Structure 1
Amino acid sequence: MKHLFASIGIALLASAAGAETLSISCGAVGAEFELCKEGVDQWALKTGNKVNLVSTPNSSTERLSLYQQLLTSKSQDLDVLQIDVVWPGMLASHLLDLTPYVKNTEQFFPGMLQNLKVGNQLTALPWFTDAGMLYYRKDLLEKYGQSTPVTWEELTASARLIQDKERKSGHDQMWGYVWQGRAYEGLTCDALEWVYSYNGGTLIDSAGKVDVTNAGVIKALDMAKSWVKTISPEGVLNYAEEEARGVFQSGNAVFMRSWPYAWNLAQAENSPIKGKVGIAALPMGGTDGQHASTLGGWQLAVSKYTRNPALAADLVQYLTSYEEQKRRVIKSAGGYNPTIPALYQDDDVIETVPQVIDLYYVFANSVPRPSTVTGDRYGQVSNAFFNSVHSVLSGSADSAAATRDLQRKLTRIMKDK
């Protein structure tokens, strides 16, 4: 299947005797490609081997399909694969168990590492991460004497107060809170954060038990529904990330839930809110709840069908190492956040990317989606969940009825797994 690929970059190496050649798939757009190529080239020079950077689709859905096609055919065209955080359960049977090959796994965020374990198999190592976070207008909070909200109840009250006062002063387009309410994977991420923050669990536990009708789930969905048409526009039910960012970055929202990528955009020279934005962990579900941020990001895995398992695992270790992750986060100015907690206390990193101090708590409280336990059924599970949540938010179903129906659907999906 080598004709499927177009090599878009080959590391220049000394032609050492016995040198091996590996192929890696990593992001091929802008800074992501350049950062990957630089890291790969350094490993190649260090080891005397060759590495081909292979072009794969930018769309994660298309990339997953290609991976599945190659791995099912036991192709040896790819040695190292960049995989999404929700793919380990789907691809585990085709991935090398890294446990015998890697050292110092305790350096990574525990939640991120746990998400990559399928049974006793370590499917990948975490490379760079994302997690949901709260953006807020620090100038408006200061203007109206409000503190950064710790609970969803505090956010709701502050959003309503500031929204109403701003509208009375002539800013009639101001909203209190914008987020991702469209019926898609983004709503799964948002809603899982609400549910977990109210101690409602992760929909399906590590043993495969479904639990979406508990009091925490109901309370979380009722709270979110109360935002629509009060502190959030009705149009939020069609918002993905960019729609929410558009409202917030134009200066028309007090709070926003988004991913770390929005930080650099909000602070750009042409941003109307440059210098006015703060970031924090998403609120807890009441004083007895907990902070929760849905885990995102990308990992590096090794194909089970590689001719060079030890060498491929060594490349993965190098690219996910402390020094390499440090280089990437500094050069990208925070565009690719580390998966190693110690880097959030590294003086060089803090000097270049001061917001990492706030990001540490976000990533430390990251919550994985139930993708590992559901395996190749995760898509069905997520689809059922976000459609059920959307029905509550839109008012077409109440939370109790919607979650009872969801319980039946998810139980059936897991039974058929």
Structure 2
Amino acid sequence: FTDGGLLYYRTDLLEKYGFDGPPQTWDELEQMAQTIQDGERAEGNQDFWGFVWQGAPYEGLTCDALEWIYSSGGGTIVSPDKVITINNPAAAEALDRAYGWIGKITPPGVTSFMEEESRRVWHGGNAAFMRNWPYAYGLSQGEDSAVKDKFDVTSLPGKEPGMSAATLGGWQVGVSKYSRNPEAAVKLALWLASEEEQKAQALSPSSLIPTKIALYSDPDIAEQRPFMPRLLPVFTSAVARPSTATAPKYNETSNIFFSNVFEVLTGRMSGADAVATIELDLQELLGFEVGAP
């Protein structure tokens, strides 16, 4: 199964406040989020926020921050040809922008939010926009959801229209060489990756994204998960984290990255200082050259 970051948005609230469609740029998102937040709070919902996402210091923050940076022209931290590219003005500006959301259109507690914390705010009807993975779609359509039939999903914004970025995610199935019954394990792996099972998982509450392209034309998926065929280009062009270029030290690379991004989000470091620190730490860890994205 594949995966990619998406923007969830309240269709009812965009219509209520006179917006024709979801934002294509970060500037538009900020303006829409502020307008809707101000309006909902004026009507009595003081718990309402414009935009929720994942800001805790963990791998999810690497995913979110990579989207901010890449969609602003700041590159992918480390390029596929093993050049450290993070230290550039576009990357610094993207981090400073995200810090500016906190306490304004994003709750201060976002620096402790993983996927489920942000989804709960959204699920309760207390956010206009949410960055999350496709799994949240089926849950948001649950009978206990305050946003059931009141939302849609689209590609994330960019600094300019057309600069959207979705971090690539996904799940793979393999068989351990230590398996005591490798033939049965291979059969199970093949079944889990089959078109039949991928369709079942796409239609499950988890809304897992299939890798079988034929399923994007399946009528059941088109009816029950209409965002999947519409956003196929998002999933096929998602931005990979630099795991291949930095292997076998990706975990350390990501930890350096999200730890310094977290310092920006908590007001202890500027974006410019953070990207410079990340560059130095990655040079020491990886021994790669530095360059422009």
Instruction: Say whether the fold is shared (TM-score over 0.5).
Output: yes
Greater share of strand: 1
Shift of 1:333: 5.6
Q: Which residue of 1 aligns with 2:105?
A: 231
Shift of 1:326: 3.0
**Counterparts in 2 of 1:75-154, with a 5 A limit?**
128-146=1-19, 147-154=21-28
Q: Is the 8 A contact 1:213 1:404 kept in 2?
A: yes
Aligned-partner Cα distance in 1 for 2:205–2:118: 23
Q: Give me the identity figure in percent.
A: 47
Q: Is the 8 A contact 1:221 1:389 kept in 2?
A: yes
**Counterparts in 2 of 1:14-413, with a 5 A limit?**
128-146=1-19, 147-287=21-161, 290-303=163-176, 319-330=192-203, 332=204, 335-413=207-285
- Cα distance change of structure 1 residues 315 and 253 upon mapping to structure 2, 3 Å threshold: closer
Deviations 1:138-177 (A, max 9, x none): 1100000112111111101100111112212222221110
- Cα distance change of structure 1 residues 184 and 307 upon mapping to structure 2, 3 Å threshold: closer
Deviations 1:343-363 (A, max 9, x none): 212224323433323442431
Aligned-partner Cα distance in 2 for 1:377–1:403: 19
Extract unaligned runs of 5+ from structure 2: 289-293
Please identify the structure whose Cα radius of gyration is greater.
Answer: 1
Aligned-partner Cα distance in 2 for 1:269–1:311: 38
- Scaled by the length of structure 2, the TM-score of the pair is 0.89
Aligned-partner Cα distance in 2 for 1:380–1:213: 18
Aligned-partner Cα distance in 2 for 1:327–1:251: 28
Aligned-partner Cα distance in 2 for 1:275–1:231: 24
Shift of 1:334: 5.9
Aligned-partner Cα distance in 2 for 1:308–1:262: 35
Aligned-partner Cα distance in 2 for 1:310–1:200: 46
Q: Is the 8 A contact 1:333 1:352 kept in 2?
A: no
How many pairs does the alignment contain? Answer: 287
Q: Which stretch shifts more, 189-198 or 303-312?
A: 303-312
Deviations 1:313-342 (A, max 9, x none): 787556434444334434x26632201333
Aligned-partner Cα distance in 1 for 2:240–2:252: 17
Shift of 1:279: 0.9
Q: Is the 8 A contact 1:294 1:369 kept in 2?
A: yes
Q: Is the 8 A contact 1:281 1:361 kept in 2?
A: no
Aligned-partner Cα distance in 1 for 2:165–2:215: 21
- Cα distance change of structure 1 residues 290 and 256 upon mapping to structure 2, 3 Å threshold: same
- Cα distance change of structure 1 residues 218 and 327 upon mapping to structure 2, 3 Å threshold: same
Extract unaligned runs of 5+ from structure 1: 1-127
Q: Is the 8 A contact 1:208 1:414 kept in 2?
A: no
Identify the structure with bigger relative contact order (alpha carbons < 8 Å, sequence gap 6+): 2
What letter corresponds to residue 264 of structure 2 in structure 1? V
- Cα distance change of structure 1 residues 208 and 308 upon mapping to structure 2, 3 Å threshold: farther
Shift of 1:286: 2.0
Stretches of 4+ aligned residues off by more than 4 angstroms: 302-319
Deviations 1:230-258 (A, max 9, x none): 11111111111111111111111111111
- Cα distance change of structure 1 residues 340 and 396 upon mapping to structure 2, 3 Å threshold: same
